[in-house]
Structure 1
Amino acid sequence: MAKKWVEEHPDAVSKWTKGVDDVDGVEIELVSTPWDSERSSSSVVAEVLKSKGFDVTVTPVDVAVVFKAIANGDGDATLAAWMPVTHKEFYEKYEGQFEDLGENLKGAKIGLAVPKYMDIDSIEDLKPAE
């Protein structure tokens, strides 16, 4: 699926890779969490990097390992950092030991979503019926 997405979105890929030189087999390891959203992001970026000549490995790890792996050089990059709240403690623990290149999912939010038919406005409305 990732390869297909990359093939079908050349304009996006072109923006992402602007100024990135082609290489010949330079190894890069992406560390990721085993969450579907991060599997998808890492797979797409891996395909884009492969198209530039990189030899890409994606290694799924527990979230507690993501920042440590980047900080100590066991991994080269991640797209799995959920900031500023979800991974704040890990970020702060290893801050200064990695390069923060900024957000990759502008406008992404985490939270609770329910179908419209539930007609509620807050989590408090989810109280069980008495």
Structure 2
Amino acid sequence: MNNFKKLIPALFLGMILLLAACGGGGNDEGSSGDNTDGNGESNGETSEEGTSGEKGEIKIGLNNWAENVAVSNMWKVILENKGYTVDLTQVEKGALYTALEGGDLDVGLEVWLPNTDKPFYEQYKDKLAWHDVWFEGTTLGLAVPTYVEDVNSMSDLKGKADMFGGKIVGIDAGASLMKLTKDALKEYELENYELQSSSGPVMTAELGKAVEDEEPILVTLWKPHWVFAEYDVKFLEDSKKVYGEKEDINWVSRKAFAEDQPQVTEVLNTWKMDDQSLGSLMNVIKEEGDPAAGAKKWVENHQDLVKEWTSAME
């Protein structure tokens, strides 16, 4: 009995410490894992501050083209600010559609229709969900710097392969633009040219170096693209319309995406850009030298436009 009496103070102290540990965590500023203040009210912080991911994960397939890198990173910033986790996965164009069909990706933000991506559309038209236009009036084809004065059309290339070292600097081998260029070489009987596959960044790097040295260069190119703001470049006239007429850019998703993420689907269908808005986004990214940082800066400076797109989430 005496030994029990001696244990009472220790037991009493232990109970006090246990109660303190259970009830005192709410005032510890360093331990809070959510975006609430001491009264349980939201403090207004979003994105990387702790709410990102609470609404699910969006997996976006990213093609390594300037405008695709720009808008994919832009939507990563916007959606993470709204509480989603966004994963960007770089894929070639053909692999994008396969991954969407298999459910490994949710969304692809750049489909050129009705001409450029027609082969993919025909193959997957019943297997994927095809959504609204977000950019109207594209152009694609072969291009040269404007100082290459005696080459203004595809027909002008005949007999001038040596001027360009016999090569055309292309982009990803699986891109529709590359297939169309192969068709154009046959249609215009330009058998002395070799179409070299590379990537969007490699192509623009070679273009930039050639312009700096004022050397002739022949590249596959498309508009919208930041190079038109940076360099004096011209498309070659395509009188046979191998590259087709002006097109629009849509977005595509796996079949059940709209059912799984109706708000995101509505927001992406509300999204619209033009030469000015998309060009400014690409230029900010180029100036920052980092797609994520550039997209974040652009989103911060264009909140009125972003709020217009995301009104369904407000």
**Could you say whether these structures have the same fold, taking a TM-score greater than 0.5 normalized by the shorter chain as the test?**
yes
Aligned to 1:83, which of 90, 93, 113?
113
Shift of 1:129: 8.0
Alignment pair present for 1:47 and 2:43: no
Contact in 2 for aligned 1:79/1:104 (Cα 8 Å): no
Q: Does 1:65 align with 2:95?
A: yes
Q: Secondary structure at the match of 2:108?
A: coil
Offset of 1:50 from its aligned partner? 1.4
- Cα deviation per residue 1:87-119 (whole Å; 9 max; x = unaligned)? 221221111222111223221221123233333
Give 5+ residue unaligned stretches, structure 2. 1-52, 163-314
- Measured in 1, the distance between the counterparts of 2:58 and 2:99 equals 13
Percent same amino acid among aligned pairs? 32
Equivalent-residue separation in structure 2 for 1:125 and 1:54 (angstroms): 51
Pairing 1:113–2:109 present: no
Question: What amino acid sits opposite 1:95 in the alignment?
Answer: K
1:13 maps to: none
Residues 70 and 126 (structure 1), Cα distance of their counterparts in 2 relative to 1, 3 Å cut:
same
Alpha-carbon distance in 1 for matches of 2:134, 2:71: 9
Q: Give RMSD over aligned pairs.
A: 2.3
What letter matches 1:62 in structure 2? E
Once the two structures are superposed, what CA deviation does each residue of 1:43-70 show, in whole Å capped at 9, x if it has no partner? 1121121122110001111211111222
Q: Provide the rounded CA distance (Å) in 2 between the counterparts of 1:47 and 1:108.
A: 25
The answer (yes or no) to whether the contact 1:38–1:80 under 8 Å persists in 2 is yes
Secondary structure, counterpart of 2:142 in structure 1 = coil
Are the counterparts in 2 of residues 28 and 54 from structure 1 also a CA contact under 8 Å? yes
User: Greater strand share, 1 or 2?
Assistant: 2
Match of 2:64 in 1: 34
| One-letter amino acid matched to 1:126 | L
| Larger helix percent | 2
Between the aligned partners of 1:106 and 1:53, the Cα distance in structure 2 is: 30
Describe how 1:9-20 pairs up with structure 2 within 5 A: none
Q: Contact 1:29/1:59 (CA < 8 Å) preserved in 2?
A: yes
Corresponding letter in the other structure for 1:125:
D
Q: Deviations over 1:10-56 (max 9, x none)?
A: xxxxxxxxxxxxx8341100012223332222111211211221100
Q: How many residue pairs align between the two structures? A: 108
| Alignment partner, residue 122 of structure 1 | 153
Aligned residues of 1:67 and 1:91 also touching (Cα < 8 A):
no
Higher-Rg structure is 2
Question: Is the 1:30–1:42 Cα contact (8 Å) retained in structure 2?
Answer: yes
Distance 2:58 2:75 in 1: 11
